[in-house]
Amino acid sequence: MRALAVLLALPAACHDQPETAAANAPAPANEVAPPPRNDLQLAEDSVRRQLGDPAGLSFANAVAHRDQRIAIVCGEVTRAGRRERYIAVDGRGAWVESEMRPGEMDRAVREFCSNGRRPS
């Protein structure tokens, strides 16, 4: 839980950092920028990075909401036939139920997921 609290504070700290010249440079005229990724896509990307098996994962029952400017996505991921819950924060990190101690995901869902709903 402490890691989740630290991660929630990370975007605010990063927001105050000076931008680099490369970040301010316009894209070359012949290069097409990829479409922006939404909160659900960023959450799936975070879970894929966390679990390390992008091809073998499927996602369901995702609910996204924002706590101030921070995107929080709660949902379920299935890998190797086993379904488990996850919480992803602002596309920067994910917590997966199988990597938490018993009962921690229940507490995290109550605290961070919209209205404390548990994905069914």
Domain presence at residue 72: yes
Question: Looking at the domain assignment, is residue 79 inside a domain?
Answer: yes
Would 69 be classed as within a structural domain? yes
Model pLDDT for residues 43-80, shown as the tens digit of each residue: 999 999 988 867 889 999 999 988 788 899 999 999 98
Q: How many residues are present in the chain?
A: 120
Q: Is residue 32 part of a domain?
A: no
Number of structural domains, the chain? 1
The tokens describing 20, both together, are: 């680099």
Q: Is residue 3 part of a domain?
A: no
Cβ-Cβ contacts under 8 Å for 96 (sequence gap 6 or more): 47, 50, 51, 77, 84, 85, 86
| Within-domain flag for 61 | yes
pTM above 0.85, yes or no: no
Give the tens place of pLDDT for each residue, 9-51.
Answer: 444 444 444 444 555 666 666 777 777 778 999 999 999 998 8
Domain assignment present for residue 19? The answer is no
> Which residues span the domain enclosing 43?
37-120
Would you say 100 and 107 are in contact if contact means Cβ atoms under 8 Å apart? no
Residue 7 has pLDDT above 90, yes or no: no
Give the model's pLDDT for residue 13: 43
Q: Is 41 inside any structural domain?
A: yes
86 neighbors 97 (Cβ within 8 angstroms): yes
Confidence at residue 56, expressed as pLDDT on a 0 to 100 scale: 85
